[in-house]
Amino acid sequence: MAVAARGLLTRGAYEEVRRSFKWRVPERFNIAWAACGRHAAVRPTSPAVEYVREDRQGAEVTDILTFGRLKERSDRLANGLVHGLALRKGDRVGLLLPQRLETVEVHMASYKAGCVVLALAQVFGPDALWARLADSGARILVTDSDSLEKVLQIWDRLPSLEHVLLVEDGESRAPLPPRVSRFQAILDRGATSFDMADTSADDPALLIYTSGTTGPPKGALHSHRTLLGHLPGVEFPHSFLPQPGDKLYTPADWSWIGGMLDILLPGLFLGLPVVGHRQRKFDPERCLQLMAEHQVRNVFLPPTALRLLRTSMGDKAHPGLALRSVASGGETLGEGLLDWGREVLSCPINEFYGQTECNLVLANCADAFPVRPGSMGRAVPGCDVAVVDAEGRPLPVGELGEVAVRAPHPVMFLRYWNRPEATAQKYKNGWLLMGDVARMDEDGYFWYFGREDDVITSSGYRIGPSEIEACLERHPAVQAAAVVGVPCPVRTEAVKAFVVLRSGGALPQGSEALADELKQWVRQRLAAHCYPQHVEFLDSLPLTSTGKVIRRELRATASSNDDSSDDNNSNHGSSNHDDNNNSSNHDHNNNHSNNNNKQPSSNHNNNINNSNSSSSSSNT
């Protein structure tokens, strides 16, 4: 068994771990050296990635990429990028690939060359791809046959994009379009050793575009130190990674912050094997089989995936599972799902919170302190987190305010790409503002109230959607719910709930009766002022590419229906949303909230790339 590298945290009680932790970020640092080169030097035959695929006959094959092989192939690719395609330090390399070995190789080669990886999701349509490629000025794009056609549709509007490298399954001699080269040919021409760029910890390394619900995409530029900054927030909810025998997996794409920085890169840094497998849509049975067959010990499962697993498994444990830790982020999971995890998965589910710009800053860790269901967790060791007022001043215990993280911190982004004003607005009085409203209790647990943009003002009350959504989802007929405010001449805003019923549960004949039942369900369990006055049933909720509810679409739907005057309103419709052509997604990647980070299992595409960490989170 390979011996993992040491983690940053020392196992112990929460207060002890926080007190003993100190940041040590070297001045010169490169992700590729930390996640590949140093391991290849001392244990080149240790597995870095176990990639599970099907061969041409449909049989399952596992390809093992060792650290030594990863170094050699990424050295070759780096030579091809620098000497063959004339890439320079700071150039952006677009990465539009699913989970596969070449994805890891592009990451390592780009960092070695001092380039910046532009992470792109395969679910993006042409417009969304164009927005990110054009804004970033990417010179090179690495993609596969599934996405090439989308790229060709927009290439004439991308003057900075010089070349596309095509990753193929198997050998092909088919002619390629101009300026498209085979990935393998570039790699084969590269020398087997490469002099890695001398990078500082603050040099740019990653460009991740937010893709959420409130405006056009903004590129969050991260430096090499962001990997170090993520480690405590990964080790903590995974019950103090690494432990003997640990092996990591997530169904989330490695192009999303949740898959990339919550599992893949931290796993490689710690010298742990990472299991990879491409699923075009999430299949809970296949996920269980994969985790059992490959003895996965540590898994990041976005809330959508957890709910689908629960629906598939029920109360029966899956034989062969060897899970030691389960982490999740993106929204409050609820006590029922947490109880199910302990009983059926035989380990606690630890929630975490963060966002694309500042990921994994709050987390639960059942090994360090008692988990309080519904809480976002406590500050991750090495993070100073507070609830602040509009002037950036910390508020007393129990008061509502905005979640904020004291700057500077290694996990924080450098800036928004070409958006200096937006970058400046992200900070106040020495704190990075997360945009989420919460309160902190006397024991340091944070409790989510709502996204600042999504808080509903009704009859003088400030109402957070997440508590109502969580209450609705405890009803046996409800699979997922999203709550928004709609204009009301009497209350200022009225609460409207969009509800998706459990799979297989077609809307009953008495939709009005069920709507009334749901209203009373909330009214009796929460308060009279926050029950939904209006209920609309949908086939699915509109989601971004990372699985977050697009609330502006729900508000627009509510306005177009013009139903806010009818307190007994109930409708049935479909809000299926194809995010592939949406170029204005904005992702608080790992927001813990129910509102702008909702990841309901009713999404018919089973898109589980949701928790920007997660997280998240506000990631995985």
User: In the numeric block, which tokens belong to residue 327?
Assistant: 């982490």
Q: pTM value?
A: 0.82
In three-state secondary structure terms, 80 is helix
End-to-end CA distance of the chain: 28
Q: pLDDT value at position 574?
A: 40
pLDDT-derived band at 546, boundaries 50, 70, 90 = low
Closest CA to 608 of 617, 599, 596: 599
b/e 585-603 (16+ beta carbons within 10 angstroms → b): bbbbbbbbbbbbbbbbbbb
The span from the CA of 224 to the CA of 202, in Å, is 6
H/E stretch holding 522 reads helix 511-525
C-alpha triplet 457, 421, 353: angle, nearest 5°: 55
pLDDT > 90? residue 170: no
Burial of 181 (0-12, 13-18, 19+ CB in 10 A): middle
Q: Are the C-beta atoms of 568 and 494 separated by less than 8 Å?
A: no
Query: Burial code of 557-574, b = ≥16 C-beta within 10 A, e = fewer?
Result: bbeebebbeeeebbbeee
How far is residue 250's CA from residue 259's CA, in Å, rounded to a whole number?
A: 6
Tens digit of pLDDT for each residue in 117-159? 999 998 888 888 998 999 999 999 999 999 999 999 999 999 9
- Say what angle helices 284-293 and 303-313 make with each other, to 10 degrees: 90
260 φ/ψ angles, rounded to the nearest 5 degrees: -80, -50
CA atoms within 13 A on the CB side of 455: 17
Please choose, from the candidates 260, 270, 336, 337, the residue with its C-alpha nearest in 3D space to the C-alpha of residue 297.
270
Give the pLDDT score at 581: 35
Residues 67-93 pLDDT 10s: 999 999 999 999 999 999 999 999 999
pLDDT at 588 over 50: no
- 10 Å Cβ neighbour count for 417? 24
How large a percentage of the chain has pLDDT more than 90? 68
Query: Residue 510: pLDDT above 50?
Result: yes
Residues in Cβ contact with 139 at an 8 Å cutoff, skipping those fewer than 6 apart: 85, 87, 91, 92, 93, 160, 161, 162, 163
Q: Which pLDDT does position 230 carry in this prediction? A: 99
- Average pLDDT value for the chain: 87
**CB of 36 within 8 A of CB of 67?**
yes
Rounded to a whole number of angstroms, the CA Rg of the chain reads: 23
The alpha carbon of 577 is separated from its chain's Cα centroid by a whole number of angstroms, namely 19
C-alpha 49 chain-centroid distance: 20
Strands (E) across 539-618 are located at 570-573
In CATH terms, 452-581 corresponds, of 3.30.300.30, 3.40.50.720, 3.40.190.10, 2.40.50.100, to 3.30.300.30
Instruction: Give the integer Cα–Cα distance in Å for 407 and 524.
Output: 42
Q: What is the mean pLDDT of residues 354-365?
A: 97
Q: What share of the chain is helix, strand, coil (3-state, %, to 5)?
A: 30, 25, 45
Note whether 265 and 234 are within 8 A (CB): no
- Alpha-carbon distance of 226 to 408, in angstroms, equals 12
- pLDDT above 80: residue 610: no
φ, ψ dihedrals at 37, nearest 5°: -55, -45
Confidence grade of residue 164 (pLDDT, cut at 50, 70, 90):
very high
Which residue ranges does the chain devote to CATH 3.30.300.30?
Answer: 452-581
Looking at residue 58, what is its pLDDT?
A: 85
At 193-251, the pLDDT tens digits run: 999 999 999 999 999 998 544 557 899 999 999 999 999 999 999 999 999 999 999 99
Phi, psi of 238 (to 5 degrees): -95, 30
User: Where in the sequence of the chain do the CATH 3.40.50.12780 domains occur?
Assistant: 14-383
Q: In terms of CATH architecture, what is 14-383?
A: 3-Layer(aba) Sandwich (3.40)
